[in-house]
Amino acid sequence: MKKVGVALLGLGTVGGGTYRILVNNKSRIEEEYGISLEIIKIMERDKKKAEKLGVPLSVLTTDINDIISNPEINVVAEFFGGIEPAKTFLIQSLEAGKSIVTANKELFSKNWPELEMAAKKGNAGLYFEATCAGGVPVIRTLNDAMQANTITAIKGIINGTTNYILTKMSDEGADYGDVLKTAQKLGYAEANPEADVEGYDASYKLSILSTLAYKTAVPVNAVYREGITKITNADIEFGKEFGLTIKLLGISKKTDKGIEARVHPVFIPKTHPLSSVKGSFNAVYISGDAVDDIMLYGRGAGDLPTGSAIVSDIVYAGLSERHKRFPQVLRKDNCNFISDFESEYYIRLLVNDKPGVLASLSGILGKYDISITTMVQKEGENVVPLCFVTHKTCEKAIQNAVSEIKKLPDVIEVSNIIRVER
Ligand code: NDP
Ligand code: HSE
């Protein structure tokens, strides 16, 4: 039977889940795929983590050369997180002819061209299923199941931590800070959870998914990004009155004018399929010209779900005679990235309860050709919250209108602006 030597970098949440799957499912993988996955080395400095998992201490190392220069190792799977030393170790592995498997979306999305060049040089493979949507096989779907299609759009819940937080806030009125702590304890959040709640993590994933979908490099800095830290229970409650649920979405579209890619909180109708995606679950909608819409759904974070994607990649890397290449990340395409995208908008204000306030608001909205679909004003003494949803309009028009609205003498504050997608 073909032996595939594997090295694991890191034994935290993802590394631990991967180790358990590799050990527990070893003989089944041998029977079904005809390859024997042998863990040769594990790089982890915390011996206690290894002991807890029952890892024989003889495979532990803290020296990358034990991996790079070991001819028995064919695949290096990385779950350190962060850029360095992971980047150097992965490039060295590729140049030494070892395929890499990674869960590290920050590193992968920001350094894909260098990794691609190193992979070419070493005739090795890049495998990164676990970088996007945890256990949901979205990369494999884009790479290996959508060949018949020109992909026109991706829309998805691609961060488990923020979906867990927003679900708990919406369904249980839970406090943002408390739920974030639970998400950290459950192993969903990044080492620095700002990456989750400020939308960075989702922007890395959207960059990777869009680059695969549109066969054009969509770098992280072309992705518009906003996180969930400004979302309050007040917004969630107003949303419910409008029949809307709040989600952090990654949205990208390929249009005649160029590619639009954005990550931000979105209100969606509570009847929308993405509205029922709760907790740490992820879901990705992909639109193709032949297949129409497909939706993939599953656990977006956690040890075993992410380990599932990693082990699948290790099996692929071990079985592949020729590894897939990604020439688009090395091309300098003259692609236009659209920032003035169209959306409906929810706007929440605090205003003086006086005659004429609505008329002055309508005047400004009319000037920018923005019309309102629904409005709610709450009872209050002197100062009242006022909330409305617009018809579809352009981002620039909203930003210009809001900066004028802020200057109205009876507008105390513009409390929040949230995009609405149907
Ligand atoms: P953890 O912090 O749980 O694990 C990282 C592990 O790597 C720790 O044990 C850490 O040890 C070890 N490590 C880091 N640097 C070194 C080093 N230089 N030498 C030796 N050991 C090192 O992180 P996760 O498992 O949660 O995440 C890992 C990666 O997977 C990240 O890129 C993350 O974005 C990605 N990911 C995570 C998912 C999840 O659900 N958690 C899902 C999908 C992807 P120490 O504690 O001593 O620093
Ligand atoms: N922190 C990430 C999330 C892990 O919450 O989605 C999975 O990529």
State pLDDT tens for residues 361-400: 999 999 999 999 999 988 878 999 999 999 999 999 999 9
CATH of 342-420, one of 3.40.640.10, 3.30.70.260, 3.40.718.10, 3.40.50.300: 3.30.70.260
Do the domains at 2-132+319-329 and 342-420 have one common CATH topology? Answer: no
Helix (H) or strand (E) holding 355: none
CA distance 66 to 256: 51
Helix axes 13-24, 303-319, angle to 10 degrees: 60
User: Rounded distance, CA 258 to CA 255, Å?
Assistant: 5
3-state secondary structure of 97: coil
Name the residue of 8, 13, 41 to mutate for ligand 1: max ligand atoms within 8 A of Cβ. 13
Encode the chain (422 residues) as per-residue pLDDT tens digits: 999 999 999 999 999 999 999 999 999 999 999 999 999 999 999 999 999 999 999 999 999 999 999 999 999 999 999 999 999 999 999 999 999 999 999 999 999 999 999 999 999 999 999 999 999 999 999 999 999 999 999 999 999 999 999 999 999 999 999 999 999 999 999 999 999 999 999 999 999 999 999 999 999 999 999 999 999 999 999 999 999 999 999 999 999 999 999 999 999 999 999 999 999 999 999 999 999 999 999 999 999 999 999 999 999 999 999 999 999 999 999 899 999 999 999 999 999 999 999 999 999 999 999 999 999 988 878 999 999 999 999 999 999 999 999 999 999 999 999 999 99
Helices and strands of the chain, counted as H and E runs: 15, 17
Residue 101 near residue 306 (C-beta atoms within 8 A): no
Does the Cβ of 160 fall within 6 Å of ligand 2?
yes
Q: Which of 111, 59, 57 is nearest to 85 (CA)?
A: 111
pLDDT at 381 (0 to 100): 84
Cα-Cα-Cα-Cα dihedral sign, residues 376, 379, 382, 384: negative
**Measuring CA to CA, how many Å separate 241 from each of 78, 163, 269?**
45, 20, 11
Instruction: Give the DSSP per-residue string, 48-73.
Output: HHHHHHT--GGGEES-THHHHT-TT-
Distances (CA, A) of 14 to 54, 58, 98, 148, 415: 16, 21, 20, 33, 39
Q: How far is the CA of 247 from the centre of ligand 1 (A)?
A: 26
Give residue 299 CA to ligand 1 midpoint distance, Å.
18
In eight-state DSSP terms, residue 395 is: H
Instruction: State the alpha helices, DSSP H only, in 145-244.
Output: 160-172, 176-185, 194-197, 200-214, 233-241
* The pLDDT of residue 407: 97
pLDDT at residue 385, as a whole number = 95
Minimum-distance ligand 2 atom for the alpha carbon of 133: 8
Q: Which CATH number fits domain 2-132+319-329: 3.30.460.80, 2.40.50.140, 1.10.3210.10, 3.40.50.720?
A: 3.40.50.720
Is the beta carbon of 102 within 6 A of some atom in ligand 1?
Answer: no
Ligand 2 closest atom vs CA 163: 5
Ligand nearest to the CA of 303: 1
What are the residue numbers of the active site? Answer: 205
**CB of 13 shorter than 6 A to ligand 2:** no
φ, ψ (nearest 5 deg) of residue 28: -65, -40
Ligand 2 pocket residue status of 300, Cβ below 6 Å: yes
- Write the class of the CATH domain 138-300: alpha beta
Domain ranges of the chain: 2-132+319-329, 138-300, 342-420
Probe target for ligand 2 pocket from 13, 78, 161, with the most ligand atoms within 8 Å of CB: 161
Q: What is the pLDDT of residue 379?
A: 82
